[in-house]
């Protein structure tokens, strides 16, 4: 037996390990299973190149807990270590790695997430164990050894009995970590970190019912057997080529990834790149409308099939954070702080690759099946609109697949919208005017009026539309978005002949003064327009600029421009001077009658804009009910 002292200058490194990595104790299991996986895959490689003359077989990794003896054991059938290798890889390399790590990352170690890359992986065992044993036998023809260390820099190395190739790590669990002796706890950790690791992992057994033999008697009882309980899927969808997978395979994988998610994904994007960086993965577009689990089931980041985190901010562009799925890359630096991550060149490339891939996929989906894409538009539009606003590279490609739905259920691509409306919807400055509504119910009367004139009205109802419009107006030439109830709509050059004026200028002047007097409210500025006689007598519109400022403020943009959001309420009261109503007001001699006529029309106009509220509404109703009795 050899006794020795681990080559390390820090007197007692274990309390340090425990302290620095306190918040992440549970990762010890991930680290040890990663090592077992590495050892297994290394052996696979060595046998495949003829370096190791042993049978590779069907190796698995086993995790066992023994509550009585307070141990957790991780056993693999990998390449094992000789005594010399234990000295070299465990005592020296691993420990100098640990020392370096603690030295360099004293302050940031706590939130670094992964520690394996510094060789501290194995020593993370001491976060939960007071004593650790390694019993290992190399695939080379050498005797097995047992290494024991109790957390001080002293270790012992002695011959061991083990006859099978591989390594067994026995953790003697410390008093303050007995929670890890609970089966449910280990099961939870395995599900979190190891669900897709590449070597089968056994945890306990389960009972399986055998199928009845053919022609079995009706009352025959099916036989049951105990089989290994394998907790992982070693070949998850993202490790396969897209050509090997059916649409159902992707859906199955989605549910495997998010067992509590019952909705089906809308579509998937398979990521696969090996230059200039390595990255694989599958992203899913979930149904976004009414989805309650947006926050919970996030994109998961893996490194060679080992779960690392679901905090992917910085790696995945913001607008794609609403997607779900998996990204696996050995090239993402996981051991450094978030601010560093965002500045990292490789990470930037990954982010723009993902952006491009999503744009390409959208373009091919709409080409393959336009009707299906239109059907799903409502669920995906937020992501795409957000992408247009926030990523120029995405915006550049977006005309190929961004749909502009109309209030009557048609969907236009940008060039189709242009073809359909550019020539017929222009204002006096020669701008192409795009009419839109944000709420089909609330703006119903305006939409109807615009449609009657032959205009197309888009229905843009997501919360970020004000920003989208701003972006489109600034990136495209001579266009102007106008909400269907805005004042600018009157600037549209009329397609049909201009309506003939029924009133002369003097009459108009009188009418305006009459109405201003009766309305008597600074919020409304009265304007006369020669509209069709069948159009409503009063139409309330809001200055486009004012409304946009309010919208922007409500969605977080342009906030603070007017202090604490104190936008003045400002409306235009458009009076149709060709309406019968206008003629009637002019004819009415009695001032009181005139005033109540105007008030009634104003209340109706307000009602149609959802502006009649509180006492005003009560008074209006009372007045009209009492009219019914007369």
Contacts to ligand ADP by CB under 6 A: 31, 35-36, 38-39, 76, 78-81, 89-90, 94, 116, 119, 121-122, 167
- CA 231 to each of CA 63, 144, 393, 599: distance values in angstroms, whole numbers, following the listed order: 10, 29, 41, 74
Report what 119 binds from Mg ion, ligand ADP, none; CB cut-off 5-8 Å by kind: ligand ADP
CB of 192 to Mg ion, least distance (A): 18
Report what 314 binds from ligand ADP, Mg ion, none; CB cut-off 5-8 Å by kind: none
Report what 90 binds from Mg ion, ligand ADP, none; CB cut-off 5-8 Å by kind: ligand ADP
Which residues are CB-neighbours of 545 under 8 A, at least 6 positions away? none
Q: Which is nearer to ligand ADP, 122 or 238 (CB)?
A: 122
Q: Which is nearer to ligand ADP, 109 or 540 (CB)?
A: 109
Residues that bind Mg ion (CB under 5 A): 35, 116, 121
Report what 36 binds from Mg ion, ligand ADP, none; CB cut-off 5-8 Å by kind: ligand ADP
3-state SS, 355-372, equals HHHHHHHHHHHHHHCHHH
The DSSP line for 268-324 is: EEEEEE-SSS-EEEEEEE---TT-S-TTTS--EEEETTEEEES--BTTB-GGGTT-E
Q: Whole-angstrom Cα distance, residue 377 to residue 409?
A: 12
- Starting at the edge strand found earlier in the chain, the sheet holding 457-459 runs 457-459, 432-437, 479-483
The DSSP line for 421-437 is: HTTT-B-TTSPEEEEEE
Report what 537 binds from ligand ADP, Mg ion, none; CB cut-off 5-8 Å by kind: none
Q: Which residue is nearest to Mg ion (CB)?
A: 121
CB of 334 to ligand ADP, least distance (A): 12
Report what 39 binds from ligand ADP, Mg ion, none; CB cut-off 5-8 Å by kind: ligand ADP
Q: Which is nearer to ligand ADP, 94 or 306 (CB)?
A: 94
Report what 325 binds from ligand ADP, Mg ion, none; CB cut-off 5-8 Å by kind: none
Q: Which is nearer to ligand ADP, 82 or 576 (CB)?
A: 82
Q: Whole-angstrom Cα distance, residue 567 to residue 206?
A: 67
3-state SS, 464-530, equals CHHHHHHHHHHHCCCEEEEECCEHHHHHCCCCCCCCCCCCCHHHHHHHHHHHHHHHCCCCEEEEEEC
Q: Which is nearer to Mg ion, 35 or 431 (CB)?
A: 35
CB of 198 to ligand ADP, least distance (A): 15
Q: Which is nearer to ligand ADP, 94 or 457 (CB)?
A: 94
Tokens 């600074």 label which residue?
522
CB of 248 to ligand ADP, least distance (A): 37
Alpha helices, H only, 123-182: none
- Among residues 528, 385, 411, 408, the alpha carbon closest in space to that of 468 is found at 385
Q: Which is nearer to ligand ADP, 333 or 565 (CB)?
A: 333
φ and ψ at 195, to 5 degrees? -60, -30
Report what 94 binds from ligand ADP, Mg ion, none; CB cut-off 5-8 Å by kind: ligand ADP
CB of 123 to ligand ADP, least distance (A): 6
Q: Which residue is nearest to ligand ADP (CB)?
A: 121
Q: Which is nearer to ligand ADP, 39 or 332 (CB)?
A: 39
Report what 320 binds from Mg ion, ligand ADP, none; CB cut-off 5-8 Å by kind: none
Q: Which is nearer to ligand ADP, 100 or 593 (CB)?
A: 100
CB of 45 to ligand ADP, least distance (A): 13
CB of 169 to Mg ion, least distance (A): 11
Phi-psi region of 244 (alpha: psi -120 to 50; beta: other; left: phi over 0): alpha
Q: b/e for 124-153, b at 16 or more Cβ within 10 A?
A: bbbbbbbbbbbbbbbbeeeebbbbbbebeb
CB of 547 to Mg ion, least distance (A): 59
The answer to whether the CB of 298 falls within 8 A of the CB of 316 is: no
CB of 39 to Mg ion, least distance (A): 10
Token duo for residue 37: 């996986």
CB of 18 to ligand ADP, least distance (A): 16
């Amino acid at each position: 037996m050899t006794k020795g002292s681990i080559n390390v200058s820090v007197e007692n490194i274990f309390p340090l390990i425990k302290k620095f990595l306190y918040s992440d104790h549970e990762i010890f299991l991930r680290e040890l299973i990663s090592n077992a996986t590495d050892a297994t895959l290394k052996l696979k490689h060595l046998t495949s190149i003829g370096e190791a003359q042993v049978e590779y077989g069907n190796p698995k990794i086993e995790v066992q807990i023994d509550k009585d003896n307070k141990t957790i054991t991780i056993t693999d059938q990998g390449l094992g270590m000789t005594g010399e290798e234990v000295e070299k890889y465990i005592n020296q390399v691993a420990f100098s790695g640990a020392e370096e790590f603690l030295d360099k990352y004293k302050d940031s170690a706590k939130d670094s997430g992964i520690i394996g890359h510094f060789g501290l992986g194995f020593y993370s065992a001491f976060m939960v164990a007071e004593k650790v044993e390694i019993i290992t036998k190399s695939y080379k023809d050498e005797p097995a050894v047992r290494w024991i260390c109790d957390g001080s820099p002293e270790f012992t190395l002695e011959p061991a009995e083990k006859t099978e190739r591989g390594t067994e790590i026995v953790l003697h669990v410390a008093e303050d970590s007995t929670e890890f002796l609970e089966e449910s706890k280990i099961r939870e950790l395995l599900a979190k970190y190891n669900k897709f690791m590449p070597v089968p992992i056994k945890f306990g057994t389960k009972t399986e019912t055998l199928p009845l033999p053919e022609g079995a008697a009706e009352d025959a009882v099916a036989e049951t057997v105990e089989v290994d309980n394998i907790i992982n899927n070693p070949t998850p969808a993202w490790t396969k080529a897209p050509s090997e997978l059916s649409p159902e395979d992707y859906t199955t994988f989605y549910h495997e990834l998010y067992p509590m998610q019952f909705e089906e994904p809308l579509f998937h994007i398979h990521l696969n790149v090996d230059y200039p960086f390595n990255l694989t993965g599958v992203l899913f577009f979930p149904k976004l409308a009414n989805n309650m689990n947006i926050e919970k089931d996030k994109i998961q980041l893996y490194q060679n099939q080992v779960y690392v985190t679901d905090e992917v901010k910085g790696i995945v562009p913001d607008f794609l954070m609403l997607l779900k799925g998996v990204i696996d890359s050995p090239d993402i630096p996981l051991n450094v702080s978030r601010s560093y991550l965002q500045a990292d060149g490789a990470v930037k490339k990954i982010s723009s690759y993902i952006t491009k891939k999503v744009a390409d996929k959208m373009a091919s989906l709409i080409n393959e099946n336009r009707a299906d894409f239109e059907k799903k538009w409502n669920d995906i539009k937020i992501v795409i609109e957000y992408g247009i606003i926030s990523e120029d590279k995405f915006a550049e490609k977006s005309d190929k697949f961004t749909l502009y739905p109309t209030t009557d259920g048609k969907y236009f691509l940008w060039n189709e919208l242009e073809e359909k409306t550019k020539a017929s919807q222009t204002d006096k400055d020669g701008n192409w005017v795009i009419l839109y509504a944000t709420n089909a119910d609330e703006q119903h009367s305006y939409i109807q009026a615009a449609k009657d004139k032959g205009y197309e009205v888009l229905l843009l109802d997501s919360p970020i539309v004000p920003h989208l419009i701003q972006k489109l107006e600034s990136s495209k030439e001579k266009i102007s978005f106008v909400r269907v109830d805005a004042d600018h709509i009157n600037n549209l050059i009329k397609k049909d002949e201009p309506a003939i004026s029924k009133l002369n200028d003097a009459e108009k002047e009188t009418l305006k003064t009459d109405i201003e007097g009766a309305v008597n409210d600074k919020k409304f500025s009265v304007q006369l327009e020669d509209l069709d006689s069948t159009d409503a007598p009063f139409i309330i519109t809001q200055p486009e600029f004012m409304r946009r400022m309010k919208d922007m403020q409500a969605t977080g943009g342009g906030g603070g421009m007017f202090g604490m959001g104190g936008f003045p309420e400002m409306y235009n009261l458009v009076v149709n001077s060709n309406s019968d109503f206008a003629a009637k007001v002019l004819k009415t001699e009695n001032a009181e009658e005139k005033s109540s006529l105007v008030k009634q029309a104003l209340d109706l106009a307000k009602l149609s804009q959802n502006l009649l509220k509180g006492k005003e509404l009560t008074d209006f109703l009372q007045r009209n009910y009492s009219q019914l009795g007369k």
